[in-house]
Amino acid sequence: MIHVSTISISGNGDREEAVVETLENKDNKLIFTERNLFVNQKTNNVYAITKFKAERSVLEAVLNGLDAKIVRIGNITNRYSDGMFQRNVEENAFAKRLQSFIKMEVFPDYSLGHEIELTPVDLCADAIVKISEFQSPCNVFHLYDTKLLPIKLLIDTLYEKGYKLLPVSNDEIRNIINELLKDDTKKNIISGIIHDLDKNKNLVYTSRIKLDCNFTEEYLKNIGFSWKPIDKNYLIKYINYFRSINFI
């Protein structure tokens, strides 16, 4: 049995685990590897909680003889081959978040020095099939594309495609949000980021949890799978698809 779980059970990316990253705490984080299930992480995300409980059930069954693997997938995005994506795009948290920033025409300035993980759905599927073809005593995998995308490249590519986003402070974003909330016809603009706001309406996308997938990377290399580069060409296919369906 292959159980498809989510890397978000780690708490990485969850508002409950968000921290303001500094030079002092940047390297002082909880490491979450394929060997971990619970490291005192906190999450209020119902989806992640149900996946966590499902993993626990699967692992208990493995101890009783079940032949199973758990694949924790990352931020699933448009197909690498042609940019196509799921039909219910409105239910995808990352896509909705990007849509909100594009409509607001701003993004958090501190994120310019960061990178994001995008895992094309077709490459993820290929990797799962590849894992299923091999028998091994290994039970848990962290399946996400480790070739991270610089935020700056995303912003620059959006700009070239006609979407201008300005880097602004959290204070400025808070003011913009407050103004949008005053207009019932514009409230929906922030629907993609509303769950990312803390009680002071700050957006913090850095976490005290640091993911590790060194084992999975080595395993995939040994069975003949490698990720393809997440570059400008992929971003153009990504943006063009969302534009074609009038999502952005």
* CA dihedral over 18, 22, 26, 29, signed as positive or negative: negative
CA angle 198, 201, 202 (to 5 degrees): 75
Structure tokens at 48: 């992640």
pLDDT in tens, 109-157: 999 989 999 999 999 999 999 999 998 888 999 999 999 999 999 999 9
Number of domains in the chain: 1
Q: What is the DSSP string of 1-45?
A: -EEEEEGGGG-TT-GGGB----TTTTT--EEE-TT-S-SS-----
Confidence category of residue 23, pLDDT binned at 50, 70, 90 = low
Percent above pLDDT 90 for the chain: 83
- Say whether pLDDT at 238 is over 90: yes
Structure tokens at 173: 């974003």
Quickly list H helices, the chain. Answer: 46-63, 93-104, 121-132, 151-160, 170-181, 214-222, 232-244
Name, in order, each residue with C-beta under 8 angstroms of 10's C-beta and a sequence gap of 6 or more.
32, 36, 39, 41, 72, 209, 211
Confidence category of residue 63, pLDDT binned at 50, 70, 90 = very high
- Among 23-27, 30-34, 95-99, 169-173, the range scoring the smallest mean pLDDT is 23-27
Identify the CATH number of the domain in which residue 115 sits.
3.40.50.720
- Please tell me whether residue 104 adopts helix, strand or coil conformation: helix
CA angle 107, 112, 216 (to 5 degrees): 110
d(CA 235, CA 179): 31
Structural domain boundaries, residue 80: 2-244
d(CA 158, CA 75): 19
